[in-house]
Amino acid sequence: MNNNTTVGVLAHVDSGKTTLSEALLFHCKAIRSLGRVDHKNTFLDSFELERKRGITIFSKQAVIKTENTEITLLDTPGHVDFSSETERALQVMDYAIISDNKGRKVDFRNVVLIMTSNAGARYAHTANVGYARKANAGAAMAKEVKKVFAPEFLNRLSSVVVFNDMDEKMAGMILDDKIKKLQARLDARKVTLVIEPEAYKKLLSEGFSPEYGAREIERVLNSRLTPMLMKEILFGEHKQGFKAIITATETGYDLRTE
């Protein structure tokens, strides 16, 4: 008795889905010649626009036959603009393997998948202050999410969660983590980093804002502290390691050593 199976090929754009599919078809003698995307002669990308742009726009199917199995192979688009095509293909697949870019397979049977997006983020600061502000901002952001993502995608989600704005306490945790990583790099040079309280507050105020969160923290550390530390390590008087004490000044930061 023959077995009929539908197998889908899904991956991000330009990852080689069509090339792999063509190779499988050629190896199984389903096609006579092996096409290439860059040569614009692939069997699966049959539409003129697909061959011209070198990108899969529509999901394609091809049949591979072995001694006792018939496999329907589905090659899907990888570009987000054509995700609806991939969504339709998912409904008929019998088997799939999820792997990373090194070919390592992932068991996806018991997974909690968390996806993040900045859709609607521009509404986070447009509502009123207080509870009404949070409620209005959340509603506006949820409405924007429905505009950005297709209903077919949203219907597959268990929940859509609107995050609260980052506060100073959370930004401080990020700063602590960045300082910890900086210290780990300094350990190789036997340098101990000490940041005085006023300098810490200054770093936090420069690296955090309600509008942009804590995106600037790493930039502040790299532009303010790292050059001073590297200068002291390379050209300072200490040869066997030292303690680097960071203090705040009116114009920036100062470093003294012990």
Distance of alpha carbon 158 from alpha carbon 140, whole angstroms: 20
For position 198, which CATH number holds? 1.10.8.60
Same structural domain, 199 and 211 = yes
Q: Strands 60-65 and 69-75: what pairing? A: antiparallel
Q: Give tens-digit pLDDT for 36-53.
A: 777 777 787 777 777 777
Residue 62 bridge partners (DSSP): 73
Same structural domain, 124 and 210 = no
Same structural domain, 181 and 249 = yes
Residue 237 burial class via C-beta count within 10 angstroms: exposed 0-12, middle 13-18, buried 19 and up? exposed
Task: Indicate the residue among 54, 79, 103 that finishes a domain.
Answer: 103
Task: Indicate the residue among 85, 103, 121 that finishes a domain.
Answer: 103
Looking at residue 215, its amino acid is R
- Overall number of domains in the chain: 3
Distance of alpha carbon 217 from alpha carbon 208, whole angstroms: 7
Same structural domain, 176 and 232 = yes
Q: Give tens-digit pLDDT for 55-100.
A: 777 787 788 887 778 888 787 887 777 777 777 776 766 666 666 6
- Owning domain of residue 156: 112-165
Please state which of the ranges 103-112, 174-183, 190-199 shows the lowest mean pLDDT: 103-112
pLDDT at 179 over 80: yes
Same structural domain, 119 and 95 = no
Same structural domain, 130 and 213 = no
For position 18, which CATH number holds? 3.40.50.300
Same structural domain, 95 and 35 = yes
